[in-house]
Structure 1
Amino acid sequence: MFNNLVSMWCQWLYFALLLSSLQLSVGKALSINAIPTLDLRPVPSDDLDDIKAPSFQADSLPLAQTIDHPALRKKLGKYYDPQYMSIGKPRLPHYLANNTNLSQYVVKVTGLDEKTVLPQFKDFKLMGYDGKIYKIGRDSRKKVKRWLSSTTFCRVQYKWIDLSSAIWPRYILQGSCINDRSCSIPPGMTCRGTEYKYKRLLTYTCLIKRSHDKNGKTIVHKRCTWRKFKFPILTRCECKC
């Protein structure tokens, strides 16, 4: 119940601040000749935090020469997804091949759009700096909608990460939200992960059993095998409090 109230309060606050900001800035909005458009092309980012790979003890890691890739591929079966996982170190797409700095790229964008949230701006009036009420024309409405979309969108950025030899396949395409700016008007809210898809991978696990011989000496029995587990991959980011 408390979480629902907090969520409703955040939504109410967001739209209240949005309308307030538009009322104060309509004078500038009406005079805008060019408003940034939403760029869906792959873009680089040097600010993405490194994702920590899980740590394993050295004696629990399989030797490279003992990893039977065909057998593990068969064990993973239908869950192997080449779009999100790779056995060998992934190569960049052909359009990034000549620029190694572009290993991070955007593939999914969410934000205010004309079909869901923005229809409420079809007919509306706003107050300018001079205190007068202005009716927004069709062309200006399009510019305002385009400005809102380009200001409030959230991007999911993907990067290949190495999970070590204890995970198979060891290379996974991991997603994260880009927060190089606030996604709300006025600023304050940030892009946060809201949806994930789970991919099955294999992890190298060892079961250790200790026993004692007739002389009291401890004997360690170690049995290692590959087991399936679910790995979350972020697929959607939204503007949240």
Structure 2
Amino acid sequence: MNLHSHLRITLNLLVLVLWTCRRVSGQKGRAKAYWDRLKHTDDNSFSGIFHSGTRPEPSEQLPVIDLQESPDPALDPKPENLDYRTLRRLLGRFYDRNFMSVVTPIEHVVSPNGTLEFKMRKKRPKGIRPRFIKDFGKPVYTGDHTFVRLHVNRRTRKKVQKYLWNFTHCPVFHTWKDLGIRFWPRWIREGRCYQGRSCSIPPGMQCRPSSKTRKTLLRWHCRGPEPGSNCSWIRFQYPILTECSCSCPS
């Protein structure tokens, strides 16, 4: 084989490799574009809407947005499907009377707009004292090899610390929500962060969710092709906010 033939074969192989790489790259590009279109279409705008009695979808938004149910009565459980003993046994140890109720709660009747929960002990919030409260009153380094000291006695420093702790504390605002006949228990006690004022000095920070729990409820779920067919109670977890803290707004 002469040099000219060898160069021609090498050039053909190089062209073949470049063409293959370009084709693979094009396929990846088309796949990525298709995936992007899917993500753009699936904007989760109906993540909290239960049409035709389908299984609820997970959501991190707290409190959970109001549910929009289909008005079709065929999707509702029948009276024989609402037996208390049967449903209580089905829910088992997950039943929590502090967060759920089968009938209208007395708290909702007395305070329909909700209640603000302040967990206090000795005129200060319960729990671990925040680090910035502990450090209040300690010498502050200014950067030029000097320290600024707060010349107050221990009693005064404790009073100021307690005031700051109370001022920056974020209570949880509780309300009872009626989820409807397709949930059991149908009443759930939700929490939200109080937004009446800024929680920081100087102002700017807000009370935001910092801790949550999940409570197991029952959902009337229809799987049949026809409305109201092949329905049964299924367990699902409902997120509930339990604690708020002072932080910067997102």
TM-score if structure 1 supplies the norm length?
0.62
Counterpart residue number, 1:205: 221
Once the two structures are TM-superposed, the CA of residue 92 in structure 1 deviates from its matched residue by 2.7
Provide, for residues 58-101 of structure 1, a one-character-per-residue CA deviation record: whole Å limited to 9, x for no partner.
222224564222111111111111111111111139xxx8x546
Counterpart residue number, 2:241: 234
Among candidates 43, 57, 60, match of residue 70 of structure 2 = 57
Once the two structures are TM-superposed, the CA of residue 108 in structure 1 deviates from its matched residue by 4.1
Q: In terms of mean alpha carbon deviation, does 180-189 or 133-142 score higher? A: 133-142
Contact in 2 for aligned 1:118/1:145 (Cα 8 Å)? yes
| Amino acid paired to 2:69 | F
Q: Which has the higher helix share?
A: 2
Among candidates 175, 189, 206, match of residue 205 of structure 2 = 189
| Amino acid paired to 2:86 | A
Contact in 1 for aligned 2:137/2:150 (Cα 8 Å)? no
Counterpart residue number, 1:166: 182
Per the alignment, do residues 104 and 57 of structure 1 end up closer, same or farther by CA in structure 2, a change over 3 Å counting? Answer: same
Contact in 2 for aligned 1:167/1:201 (Cα 8 Å)? yes
- Cα distance in 2 between the residues matched to 1:71 and 1:82: 17
Higher RCO (CA-CA < 8 Å; seq separation 6+) = 1
Among candidates 109, 116, 136, match of residue 105 of structure 1 = 116
- Cα distance in 1 between the residues matched to 2:228 and 2:112: 47
1:82 aligns with 2:97: yes
Once the two structures are TM-superposed, the CA of residue 205 in structure 1 deviates from its matched residue by 1.1
- Cα distance in 2 between the residues matched to 1:134 and 1:104: 39
Contact in 2 for aligned 1:157/1:175 (Cα 8 Å)? yes
Secondary structure of 1:225's aligned partner: strand
Provide, for residues 117-147 of structure 1, a one-character-per-residue CA deviation record: whole Å limited to 9, x for no partner.
3232244479xxxxx9761222321232122
- Number of residue pairs matched by the alignment: 176
Q: In terms of mean alpha carbon deviation, does 104-113 or 151-160 score higher? A: 104-113
Give the superposed CA RMSD. Answer: 3.4
- Cα distance in 1 between the residues matched to 2:150 and 2:235: 62
Secondary structure of 2:212's aligned partner: strand
Contact in 2 for aligned 1:114/1:145 (Cα 8 Å)? no
| Gap runs ≥5 in structure 1 | 1-49, 127-131, 211-219
1:225 aligns with 2:232: yes
Once the two structures are TM-superposed, the CA of residue 192 in structure 1 deviates from its matched residue by 0.8
| Amino acid paired to 2:99 | Y
- Cα distance in 2 between the residues matched to 1:226 and 1:104: 31
Contact in 2 for aligned 1:53/1:164 (Cα 8 Å)? no
- Cα distance in 2 between the residues matched to 1:162 and 1:221: 22
Q: Which has the higher strand share?
A: 1
| Gap runs ≥5 in structure 2 | 1-62, 142-147
Once the two structures are TM-superposed, the CA of residue 182 in structure 1 deviates from its matched residue by 0.7
Once the two structures are TM-superposed, the CA of residue 116 in structure 1 deviates from its matched residue by 3.9
Contact in 2 for aligned 1:124/1:136 (Cα 8 Å)? no
Per the alignment, do residues 91 and 65 of structure 1 end up closer, same or farther by CA in structure 2, a change over 3 Å counting? Answer: farther
Counterpart residue number, 1:144: 160
- Cα distance in 1 between the residues matched to 2:114 and 2:178: 13
Secondary structure of 2:223's aligned partner: strand
Contact in 1 for aligned 2:64/2:239 (Cα 8 Å)? no
Q: In terms of mean alpha carbon deviation, does 160-169 or 145-154 score higher? A: 145-154
